[in-house]
């Protein structure tokens, strides 16, 4: 099982300026703090690690409690710290198996591309909490170019010579003492959160490490995929060291409570490793994003207007018909000078539009279009599916007519 927490004191942190987080208590959800969780299932398991004076390995029944508010399902009561200490002290990395290494590499390659695509970071700093032997960090540094750092409390993992890894817990992490940044452009934590007893506190401290404008990526086993998919390569999801099982909306709400906005949430199964992947950003600005989208769209309309004016000028008075009198064309026509629009005609298959005018340009009906016999047809919308439909019908009805697209083709960058 890759990259799980290997000491119970990774369960809570004390970073400054962190948002309040619920403390686990009887009947309360460990993630959102809602009171009134209800028993939903039981499972008989051996104890994680019996006390040294026990000759028999005890068997116990786990009870799982579900939270109606955030969907988190947790063991109750949770194992005590001494039992977790004894268990994690026995964990050792398995020997190298080439087939397993290949499967893990497939997952790492996928996560590298996912993180690059979702965050859009070109440069910056990166911290992985629970980094194991740092293989993914090594990929991020070599392929992506981010400055990487890792936290891993276990001493049983191999070290990576080019990856700085602090052998400490999140609670004990002291970046200034190490000469490391106090906050990072990307903080990520894969398959750790299900092992910590106090996930709300853990997420609070992870969030405190995210720089303004930076990203937090959290990955846990996907209950949805484990419930419906085939046999996972990562083993069973419901077992004694997975203390909590999370739902995507619940994790998104927990991150929002810590000042982060989830922009990507996905159940992902690459390499038979079913995972719930959640990426959130600090300081996400939806208004700025909308304005950038509008500017980009307006620029596209302006380029289409220049293209339409050029088509009309090249036609030198010959009939030109724009096919598709919709919202896209309504944004383009006002940008074309009225004097240039004089020789233009429009056509739309909708009877409710035929016979009307758009900015003084007549919208032809089917009979008028057939009589006109246009020598130049222009597909006048930006929707790729509609454009393909227009081009196909135009080729069938007017095989001799020249046909072009008003907006950029699918091959344009």
pLDDT tens readout for residues 244-302: 999 999 999 999 999 999 999 999 999 999 999 999 999 999 999 899 999 999 999 99
| End-to-end Cα distance, the chain | 42
Phi/psi region, residue 359 (left: phi>0; alpha: psi -120 to 50; beta: rest), is left
State the CATH number of the domain containing residue 131: 3.40.50.150
What's this model's pTM, rounded to 2 decimal places? 0.79
d(CA 253, CA 237): 23
Does residue 356 form part of some domain?
Answer: yes
Number of structural domains the chain divides into = 2
5, 134 Cβ separation under 8 angstroms: no
- Structure tokens belonging to residue 103: 């499967």
State the CATH number of the domain containing residue 310: 3.40.50.20
Supply φ then ψ for residue 339, to 5 degrees: -65, -35
| DSSP structure class, residue 26 | T
Residue 156: what pLDDT?
78
Q: Please check whether residues 207 and 335 belong to one and the same domain.
A: no
Does residue 53 form part of some domain?
Answer: no
pLDDT in tens, 120-164: 999 999 999 999 889 999 999 999 999 999 999 888 777 778 899
- Residue 90: pLDDT band (50, 70, 90) is confident
User: Among 48-57, 213-222, 237-246, 322-331, whose mean pLDDT is lowest?
Assistant: 48-57
Residue 262: what pLDDT?
97
Q: Please check whether residues 271 and 128 belong to one and the same domain.
A: yes
Polymer length of the chain? 413
Residue 3: what pLDDT?
29
Does residue 65 form part of some domain?
Answer: no
- Structure tokens belonging to residue 99: 């087939």
Residue 233: what pLDDT?
84
Q: Please check whether residues 119 and 167 belong to one and the same domain.
A: yes
d(CA 358, CA 361): 5
d(CA 137, CA 143): 10
Nearest to 189 by CA among 278, 307, 283: 278
Angle at 316 between CA 313 and CA 320, to 5 degrees: 80
Supply φ then ψ for residue 205, to 5 degrees: -75, -35
Q: Please check whether residues 143 and 262 belong to one and the same domain.
A: yes
Angle at 22 between CA 19 and CA 24, to 5 degrees: 145
**Which of 284, 309, 324 is at the close of a domain?**
284
d(CA 413, CA 406): 16
Does residue 328 form part of some domain?
Answer: yes
Sign of CA dihedral 371, 373, 378, 379: positive
Does residue 83 form part of some domain?
Answer: no
Q: Please check whether residues 272 and 157 belong to one and the same domain.
A: yes
Does residue 56 form part of some domain?
Answer: no
CB neighbours of residue 240 within 10 Å:
17
- Residue 95: pLDDT band (50, 70, 90) is low
- Residue 93: pLDDT band (50, 70, 90) is low
- Structure tokens belonging to residue 410: 């699918």
Supply φ then ψ for residue 343, to 5 degrees: -90, 10
What would the mean pLDDT of 71-84 be, rounded to a whole number?
90
Q: Give the domain range for residue 358.
A: 289-405
Residue 4 clears pLDDT 90, i.e. is over it: no
Residue 316: what pLDDT?
84
358, 304 Cβ separation under 8 angstroms: no
Q: Please check whether residues 346 and 238 belong to one and the same domain.
A: no
185, 124 Cβ separation under 8 angstroms: yes
Does residue 149 form part of some domain?
Answer: yes
More confident residue, 8 or 184: 184
- Structure tokens belonging to residue 106: 């497939």
Q: Please check whether residues 148 and 239 belong to one and the same domain.
A: yes
Q: Please check whether residues 267 and 298 belong to one and the same domain.
A: no
241, 296 Cβ separation under 8 angstroms: no
**Which of 231, 249, 284 is at the close of a domain?**
284
d(CA 260, CA 216): 8
Does residue 174 form part of some domain?
Answer: yes
Residue 211 clears pLDDT 80, i.e. is over it: yes
Q: Please check whether residues 278 and 309 belong to one and the same domain.
A: no
d(CA 297, CA 344): 23
- Structure tokens belonging to residue 273: 């490793």
Q: Please check whether residues 310 and 278 belong to one and the same domain.
A: no
**Which of 255, 284, 313 is at the close of a domain?**
284
Tell me how far CA of residue 239 lies from CA of 109, 145, 413, in angstroms.
28, 37, 49
What would the mean pLDDT of 166-185 be, rounded to a whole number?
94
344, 320 Cβ separation under 8 angstroms: yes
Q: Please check whether residues 155 and 296 belong to one and the same domain.
A: no
More confident residue, 411 or 79: 79
Tell me how far CA of residue 155 lies from CA of 89, 159, 169, in angstroms.
10, 9, 12
Average pLDDT, the chain: 88
Q: Please check whether residues 259 and 320 belong to one and the same domain.
A: no
């Amino acid at each position: 099982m890759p990259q799980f927490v290997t000491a119970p004191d990774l369960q809570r942190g004390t970073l400054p300026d962190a948002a309040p987080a619920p403390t686990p208590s009887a009947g309360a959800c460990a993630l959102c703090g809602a009171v009134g969780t209800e028993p939903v299932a039981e499972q008989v398991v051996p104890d994680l690690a019996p006390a040294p004076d026990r000759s028999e390995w005890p068997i116990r029944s786990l009870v799982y409690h579900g939270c109606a508010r955030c969907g988190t399902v947790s063991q109750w009561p949770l194992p005590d710290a001494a039992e977790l200490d004894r268990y994690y002290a026995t964990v050792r990395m398995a020997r190298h198996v080439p087939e397993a290494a290949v499967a893990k590499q497939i997952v790492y390659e996928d996560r590298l591309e996912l993180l690059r695509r979702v965050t859009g970071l070109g440069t910056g700093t990166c911290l992985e909490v629970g980094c194991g032997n740092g293989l993914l960090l090594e990929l991020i540094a070599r392929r992506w170019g981010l400055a990487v750092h890792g936290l891993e409390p276990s001493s049983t993992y191999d070290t990576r010579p080019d990856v700085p890894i602090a052998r400490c817990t999140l609670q004990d992490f002291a970046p200034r003492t190490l000469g490391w940044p106090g906050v990072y452009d990307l903080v990520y934590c894969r398959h750790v959160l299900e092992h910590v007893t106090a996930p709300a506190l853990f997420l609070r401290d992870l969030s405190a490490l995210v720089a303004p404008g930076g990203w937090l990526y959290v990955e846990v086993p996907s209950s949805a995929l484990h419930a419906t998919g085939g046999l996972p390569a990562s083993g069973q999801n419901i077992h004694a060291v997975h203390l909590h099982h999370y739902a995507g909306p619940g994790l998104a709400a927990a991150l929002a409570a810590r000042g982060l906005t989830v922009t990507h949430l996905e159940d992902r199964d690459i390499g038979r490793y079913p995972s719930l992947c959640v990426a959130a950003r600090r300081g996400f600005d939806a208004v700025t994003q909308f304005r950038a989208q509008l500017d980009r769209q307006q620029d596209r309309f302006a380029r289409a207007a220049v293209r339409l004016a050029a088509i009309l000028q090249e036609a030198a008075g010959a009939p030109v018909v724009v096919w598709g009198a919709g919202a896209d064309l309504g944004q383009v026509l006002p940008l074309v000078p009225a004097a240039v629009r004089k020789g233009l005609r429009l056509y739309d298959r909708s009877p409710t539009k035929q016979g009307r005018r758009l900015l003084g340009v007549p919208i032809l009906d089917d009979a008028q279009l057939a009589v006109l016999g246009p020598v130049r047809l222009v597909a006048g919308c930006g929707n790729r599916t509609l454009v393909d439909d227009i081009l196909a019908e135009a080729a069938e009805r007017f095989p001799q007519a020249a046909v072009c697209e008003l907006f950029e083709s699918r091959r344009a960058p």
